Structure 1
Amino acid sequence: MKRRWKFTIGLGACLFMAVSTYAGLEWADRAYPPPLDSAGVVSAEVLDADGQLLRAFATPEGRWRLKTDVEDVDPRFLAMLIGYEDRRFYAHGGIDLRAIGRAAFQLLTNGRIVSGASTLSMQVARLIEPRETRSFSAKLLQVARAIQIERRLTKREILQLYLTHAPYGGNIEGVRAASLAWFGKEPKRLTVAEAALLVALPQSPEQRRPDRHPQAAIAARERVLTRAAVAEVTGEGEAERAEDDPVPRKRLQLPAYAAHLAEAAIRKRPGAEDYRSTLKLGIQQRLEDVAREASARLAPKVSLAMVMADAKTGEIVGEVGSANYFDAGRSGWIDMTRVLRSPGSTLKPFIYGLAFEQRLVSQETMIEDRPADFFGYRPKNFDMTYQGEVTVRQALQLSLNVPAVRLLDAVGPSRLMIRFRRADVHPVLPPNETPGLAIGLGGVGITLKDLVQAYAALANGGQPVRVGNGIDEKPAVLDNEALLEPQAIWNVTDILSDLLPPTGARRLGIAYKTGTSYGYRDAWSVGYDGRYVLGVWVGRPDNGAVPGIAGYMTAAPILFEAFSRSGVPITPHPAAPAGAVRLSQTELPIGQRRFSMTASGLIRSALGGGTREPAPQIVYPPEGAKVDLGAEAGDMSPLVLKLQGGRPPFRWLANGKPLAELSRRRTNEWLPEGAGFSTLTVIDAAGRAASVRVFVE
């Protein structure tokens, strides 16, 4: 009886101690959890559209610590890591008792430490809570933390913490940062030698740094390769071959592309781990290479900028705010893609597009390039010479100023500005000024991004798109009216795509326009194919003059080099739409063979005055009208057309196609081919035109 009583008391005491110990451990576990929150601090990353790293930022304490998931690394590296560091990683609960026993036996029999018993979980505990001294108490804390970590995280999460925090020398932490710093690539595809070196370095990262201690790095790598568990992973003979591979002797800089865009992203959304952009890494790399090489040929204080956008989606695929962000002499920190500058002659294609749309001219229409006075405004050509009479095609290709102003005088500066608003582009006028003729020669402010957005509508068949900012401003195809009619865009593109490339450049199949602002302050070149638009600006960020720069000589060579090296395939321009055709001068209506018209539509006399005869005006149907002609029933009725003013005979056109014959009457009839939008135009004997857009149903 007495013995049974003692047994009962002893059993109760043991149970009490067990419960107390368990409760104490549970309390300690809850009261002193592992610092997993601080382990989440990683470098901010700016990524391209495909998730590739464009630029990384160091952590607040100056570490390059890129978040690394299991999917981010080569599976063979993971197998080698577990085989070398912790073969029973997936079986133990934080500590490996078999490894501890083996290490203790080796210590007793050899009198020194032969192998360690630290598991990956214990190493993670040390990495997220570094110990200042290598003491027995510190080791016990590490063991306790490893058990805590195992209770809270899955094996996959523990492995990812190791992959993110493992030290690799200097301020490099994590496998991704290490692979980029030592091999210049992401760790998704590693050679056997590279994987073995990344397994070996964390055990003694400073003593094994390959740039400082190459022999120690080679020896450590060899120990990894000769481990039996690793040899099972590498395959027959691969470990031996890997031993002959050299180790990297230089630490590389981590990717630092799209500096201005990356800085802007960090400012707008501080604290985020990653920022997805619309840029394409390959395109961005090549554009920056071109910019860096081109800047070496420019004067010391001259900068350059580039924007490349997808005209179908509005996505910026490449952007260079300056040739070198850190070049103080060129004010490299200023993002010149967002700064208002004078666009020079780059707006001329839109003036000509309006003139084509209103049927004021055709490509072979003759136009005067002689000194002219527009109510006190006397434009001069860039080279201060005049060509006399030229065709409209030649005038645009030669970028002659006087013909462009004549056409702008006819179509109206306000109408041009309204068209830019359709494309969500807003050129800035000087304070307290209304749109005037000077805007055709650069008398407004516009950013490179907005200029590319305007040209994107030309590349997109007239449909405006909003070019995003690459990060948080979403690109979009705008639900606005077309910037210009397809026939007008085709004429402009046909002319610009036939321009000779700059000296030394080969033809690329792109349409392009150049511009030089007043006082030689800005040189521009914008080009587009059937898909992409690329804009180039060259000048001084302080708006100082740069004698000798010009769009054709300075910016166009950079445009052609960047377009050809960007890696995007050249997309052909669309085929000519219905009604778009190049006519010789003899095939043109008499009124379109020579342009001589004022903004009011009056014909200029030989003395510069005007007749009293008003320009033609379509009075029916009105602009934007919806006309029910029975299209749904399948038996359409003709539409009556009425006009006022103008000099007979009149030529009517529907969607660019002439109706049957010239008519001296001010009424006519037109039978549509089907329902939908159509453009009706009338041209009188003096070449003056009027147009309306109607919807037939």
Structure 2
Amino acid sequence: MRDKGLYNNILNWSKDHPGRLALGMGMVLALLLFWNCLPQPLFEVPYATVLEARNGQLLGAKIAEDGQWRFPIKDEVPQKFEQALLEFEDDAFYYHPGVNPAAIGRAMIQNIEAGKVVSGASTITMQVIRLSRKNQPRTYWEKIKEMILALRLELSYSKEEILALYAAHAPFGGNVVGLEAASWRYFGRPPSQLSWAESATLAVMPNSPALIHPGRNREHLEVKRNRLLKRLMQKGTLDSLTFRLAKAEPLPGKPLDLPQRAPHLLSRLYSGGHRGERIRSTVDISLQKQTEKIVQRHHKLLRQNEIHNAAAVIADVRTGAVKAYIGNTKNPANHHQNKVDVVTAPRSTGSILKPFLYMLMQDEGMLLPDMLVADVPTQISNYTPKNFSKTYAGAVPASEALSRSLNVPAVRLLQDYGVPRLHHYLQQMGMQTLYYPPEHYGLSLILGGAEGTLWDITGMYASTARFMNRYDVRDPQTKQFKSRPLHYIEGKEPTPSNDSFSLNAGAVWSTFEAMLEVYRPDDEINWRQYLSSRKVAWKTGTSYGFRDGWAVGVTPEYVIGVWVGNADGEGRPGLIGNKTAGPILFDLFDMLDETSWFHEPLYAMKEVPVCRKSGHRAGPYCTPVDTVAVPTTGLKTEVCPYHRKVHLDTSQEYRVHSRCMPVSKMKSKEWFVLPPVQEWYYRRNNPSYAMLPPLLEQCEQDVDATVTMELIYPHDASQIYVPKEMDGSKGKTVFEVAHRGSRSTIYWHLDEQYLGKTEAPHQMALSPEPGQHRLTLVDEDGVTLRHNFEILSR
């Protein structure tokens, strides 16, 4: 009822006062128009993309899309520039509502007396409006619009915000717009570090930027600057000494180039959608400068071997924050694809993934840290891996196979572990470049058959180290491995992956311990002899064809990844990870703060008897035996298969068995025996290896041939492809056999046809016709070994 009465009163009032209603409605409409007259946003202009270090220092900038050096707006205006600007342009700025009536009156009198426009009476607020309404004619009607908009601007923005808008959009000559861009282009430093003379110079420039550009009309610019400095002194802002010193400062010369401390990171931000933004990165500018120097110093040496590109990433293990980012080298002639960001470029991984296989197999209980693994010539289907040295050890501890980066043991281990399983876990650990299914890569996955990025791989090592840092036996959550990629934007830490899997900390610990033994570069070869040396778990990689050299190192505090090569994929002799990327890695570690080492996860380890010779859990015939701490998952591994009880005659010079000698006359002894092929290579490198004594003559019946002889090639192959020679003639396949007897003779037969005999080494080059064949080998004692195979059509 009250609302209805109020409505009737308004209706009756409007009938009695129609003129007042029209006036009121007009005033309301005018207020609405006034309130909505300010454009939103006020400035519709593109800005430069600005990259800052963690402390706010400028790392680099990319010009705005309209070709102007216009930095994004900053909230604060340096005090020196503010005081100089207000003295020059608008000394009543903090007292007027956007329009200064006194200044307008003074300008009108001056213009009438001069007979032309000599003063515009524009306040800073009005100038902000004029800058936002670019290319508008300078008319009285436009001036009135500016006044109205200036009044409206003052109602929504603080004085500080209006000053910031002016400082960000004022013209400073050429394509330089805004105080910050001008400060860097003309003086090479941020506005906060400008002197009084420099601040005064920039304060007077927007008044007529085309006329007083520092590149010309320098006398005019200097006069205006000095006049402003004098006013500041007269006002008491400057003392007389500061005034004289400021007047003596020279004017700036031609515009300077902006800093380019992390150009590839800047380009990555720009292409990633951060255009026109000011990005505060996690980069430490001091580390960035030092890293750049180190990489460039090595680059000068590397390019003598036509190796032209290198990249490096340093990150904090605990947070994943990038501290230094070198996407590529700076080449003198600006070529060799130095603009490519190699940090994100997929490259063949070489051996850099081997530690993850070693770690995962221990976690699965398939491997102990020093368990012997086979290192013999190997052919799996049509794949024949080779060690870098082209030599074989026969059998080698798994930790040594990792530290020496032996290819054959790695491939054989992957065959046992399974390519699909490794493929799956590599993806869960953060490798984003496995675009194809496991069968596409096959066993070559562990030797560089897949491509990875320095970014992903460095992040994978960081996540593994972070897992060790976080591990706490009291907290089950810390037993779950979750990958988290590296990041470079301050305050935007990526969340850990949703995928996780249980991981034994002991497996990680023993992997890092094995990585300590990777052969260091020449300058670091004797690192253990110095107390000051730091422990670094590191691994190198070299891709096929010497195209990529990798080195990744990790401590509880830092992870460093280095890549060296040619961005166009050209291989070079000597482009080996240990020799090219390794020295850079350790020079980078040397510049970092002191680092620690990981705590041994005692509750994830267990002391067990381990055979000293084989590294397996000790069996009943193992001797000597050591008590060693191994991952608790290692209890699943088999006991030593290489130690067995051997029966000897009374002279202990011959082996015997119960079918040829009474048990009462036999002597028993524990013996370390490797399979024939492994033994063939192992004994060359281990003179202490004791071969089995020969069988007593009457005990040689019913001997298993595989105990005495074993094919080295083809070991498992049932299908063999023999290519033609360069001249078109038939090619040959070299068959090779290992025999326990160092002076044995082997008689060769192919399809029941005698071919000849061999004495060590037992090799024979054959060229069978396509089809099925049988190779028969007989030694002088009558021990026979047969192998069926097929020669594929040429």
Query: Please, what TM-score do these two structures have when normalized by structure 2?
Result: 0.64
Task: Identify if the C-alpha distance between structure 1 residues 30 and 401 changes in structure 2 by more than 3 Å, giving closer, same or farther.
Answer: same
Alignment partners' CA distance in 2, 1:656 and 1:199: 74
Task: Identify if the C-alpha distance between structure 1 residues 360 and 92 changes in structure 2 by more than 3 Å, giving closer, same or farther.
Answer: closer
Alignment partners' CA distance in 2, 1:101 and 1:25: 30
Alignment partners' CA distance in 2, 1:220 and 1:493: 67
Alignment partners' CA distance in 2, 1:657 and 1:32: 76
Per the TM alignment, residue 344 of structure 1 is displaced from its structure 2 partner at its CA by: 0.8
Matched, 1:349 2:351: no
**Greater displacement, 130-139 / 522-531:** 130-139
Task: Identify if the C-alpha distance between structure 1 residues 465 and 648 changes in structure 2 by more than 3 Å, giving closer, same or farther.
Answer: same
Q: Partner residue of 1:559?
A: 585
List runs of 5+ in structure 1 lacking aligned partners: 1-14, 597-615, 617-645, 659-676, 689-697
Task: Identify if the C-alpha distance between structure 1 residues 162 and 396 changes in structure 2 by more than 3 Å, giving closer, same or farther.
Answer: same
Matched, 1:69 2:74: yes
Q: Which amino acid aligns with 1:58?
A: I
Alignment partners' CA distance in 2, 1:503 and 1:138: 75
Matched, 1:313 2:319: yes
Q: Choose which of 158, 173, 179 in structure 2 pairs with 1:175.
A: 179
Q: Choose which of 625, 635, 654 in structure 2 pairs with 1:681.
A: 635
Task: Identify if the C-alpha distance between structure 1 residues 443 and 483 changes in structure 2 by more than 3 Å, giving closer, same or farther.
Answer: farther
Q: Choose which of 565, 569, 573 in structure 1 pairs with 2:593.
A: 569
Match of 2:386, SS? coil
Task: Identify if the C-alpha distance between structure 1 residues 228 and 234 changes in structure 2 by more than 3 Å, giving closer, same or farther.
Answer: closer
Per the TM alignment, residue 517 of structure 1 is displaced from its structure 2 partner at its CA by: 0.7
Aligned residues of 2:233 and 2:243 also touching (Cα < 8 A)? no
Q: Which amino acid aligns with 1:76?
A: K
Alignment partners' CA distance in 2, 1:504 and 1:294: 14
Matched, 1:446 2:400: no
Alignment partners' CA distance in 2, 1:187 and 1:425: 43
Aligned residues of 2:46 and 2:276 also touching (Cα < 8 A)? no
Per the TM alignment, residue 149 of structure 1 is displaced from its structure 2 partner at its CA by: 3.9
Q: Partner residue of 1:539?
A: 565
Q: Which amino acid aligns with 2:314?
A: M
Match of 2:329, SS? coil
Aligned residues of 2:344 and 2:454 also touching (Cα < 8 A)? yes
Aligned residues of 1:408 and 1:440 also touching (Cα < 8 A)? yes
Alignment partners' CA distance in 1, 2:433 and 2:145: 66
**Greater displacement, 388-397 / 217-226:** 388-397
Per the TM alignment, residue 248 of structure 1 is displaced from its structure 2 partner at its CA by: 3.0
Alignment partners' CA distance in 2, 1:229 and 1:86: 17
Matched, 1:529 2:555: yes
Query: Please, what TM-score do these two structures have when normalized by structure 1?
Result: 0.71
Per the TM alignment, residue 514 of structure 1 is displaced from its structure 2 partner at its CA by: 1.0
Per the TM alignment, residue 215 of structure 1 is displaced from its structure 2 partner at its CA by: 4.5
**How far does the alpha carbon of each residue in 1:308-331 deviate from its partner, in whole angstroms, 9 at most, with x for none?**
333323344444443369988433
Matched residues, percent identical?
A: 33
Q: Which amino acid aligns with 1:43?
A: Y
Alignment partners' CA distance in 1, 2:114 and 2:50: 52
Match of 2:611, SS? helix
Per the TM alignment, residue 132 of structure 1 is displaced from its structure 2 partner at its CA by: 6.5
* Residue correspondences, number: 598
Matched, 1:43 2:47: yes
Q: Partner residue of 1:10?
A: none
Q: Partner residue of 2:403?
A: 397
Q: Which amino acid aligns with 1:573?
A: W
Q: Which amino acid aligns with 1:465?
A: S
**Greater displacement, 512-521 / 230-239:** 230-239
Matched, 1:91 2:95: yes
Aligned residues of 1:48 and 1:54 also touching (Cα < 8 A)? yes
**Greater displacement, 377-386 / 428-437:** 428-437
Q: Partner residue of 1:226?
A: 230
Q: Partner residue of 1:338?
A: 344
Q: Choose which of 508, 516, 540 in structure 2 pairs with 1:497.
A: 516
Per the TM alignment, residue 123 of structure 1 is displaced from its structure 2 partner at its CA by: 2.2
Q: Partner residue of 2:645?
A: none
Pairwise mapping of residues 378-393 of structure 1 onto structure 2 (< 5 A)?
378-386=384-392, 391-393=397-399
Aligned residues of 1:513 and 1:527 also touching (Cα < 8 A)? yes
**How far does the alpha carbon of each residue in 1:587-646 deviate from its partner, in whole angstroms, 9 at most, with x for none?**
x945352269xxxxxxxxxxxxxxxxxxx9xxxxxxxxxxxxxxxxxxxxxxxxxxxxx9
Q: Which amino acid aligns with 2:367?
A: L
Aligned residues of 1:334 and 1:541 also touching (Cα < 8 A)? yes
Task: Identify if the C-alpha distance between structure 1 residues 259 and 582 changes in structure 2 by more than 3 Å, giving closer, same or farther.
Answer: farther
Aligned residues of 2:372 and 2:614 also touching (Cα < 8 A)? yes
Task: Identify if the C-alpha distance between structure 1 residues 452 and 464 changes in structure 2 by more than 3 Å, giving closer, same or farther.
Answer: farther
Q: Partner residue of 1:630?
A: none
Per the TM alignment, residue 467 of structure 1 is displaced from its structure 2 partner at its CA by: 0.5
Aligned residues of 2:606 and 2:629 also touching (Cα < 8 A)? no
Q: Choose which of 483, 498, 505 in structure 2 pairs with 1:465.
A: 483
**How far does the alpha carbon of each residue in 1:314-362 deviate from its partner, in whole angstroms, 9 at most, with x for none?**
3444444433699884334544333332211112222333455537344
Aligned residues of 2:462 and 2:559 also touching (Cα < 8 A)? yes
Aligned residues of 1:312 and 1:477 also touching (Cα < 8 A)? no
Pairwise mapping of residues 126-275 of structure 1 onto structure 2 (< 5 A)?
126-130=130-134, 139=143, 142-143=146-147, 145-150=149-154, 153-212=157-216, 214-228=218-232, 231-235=235-239, 237-256=241-260, 258-269=262-273, 273-275=277-279
Alignment partners' CA distance in 1, 2:416 and 2:28: 91
Matched, 1:428 2:434: yes
Task: Identify if the C-alpha distance between structure 1 residues 370 and 75 changes in structure 2 by more than 3 Å, giving closer, same or farther.
Answer: same
Q: Which amino acid aligns with 1:686?
A: C
Aligned residues of 1:66 and 1:176 also touching (Cα < 8 A)? yes
Alignment partners' CA distance in 2, 1:430 and 1:228: 70
Task: Identify if the C-alpha distance between structure 1 residues 253 and 280 changes in structure 2 by more than 3 Å, giving closer, same or farther.
Answer: same
List runs of 5+ in structure 2 lacking aligned partners: 1-18, 469-480, 528-532, 643-794
Aligned residues of 2:317 and 2:463 also touching (Cα < 8 A)? yes
Task: Identify if the C-alpha distance between structure 1 residues 34 and 487 changes in structure 2 by more than 3 Å, giving closer, same or farther.
Answer: closer
**How far does the alpha carbon of each residue in 1:473-503 deviate from its partner, in whole angstroms, 9 at most, with x for none?**
9623446656753223222323333545434
RMSD: 4.6
Q: Partner residue of 2:701?
A: none
Aligned residues of 2:232 and 2:238 also touching (Cα < 8 A)? no
Per the TM alignment, residue 43 of structure 1 is displaced from its structure 2 partner at its CA by: 0.6
Match of 1:337, SS? helix
Match of 1:681, SS? helix
Task: Identify if the C-alpha distance between structure 1 residues 58 and 342 changes in structure 2 by more than 3 Å, giving closer, same or farther.
Answer: closer
Aligned residues of 1:314 and 1:476 also touching (Cα < 8 A)? no
Match of 2:343, SS? coil
Q: Choose which of 534, 539, 543 in structure 2 pairs with 1:513.
A: 539
Task: Identify if the C-alpha distance between structure 1 residues 107 and 157 changes in structure 2 by more than 3 Å, giving closer, same or farther.
Answer: same
Q: Which amino acid aligns with 2:422?
A: L
Match of 2:541, SS? strand
Aligned residues of 1:580 and 1:656 also touching (Cα < 8 A)? no
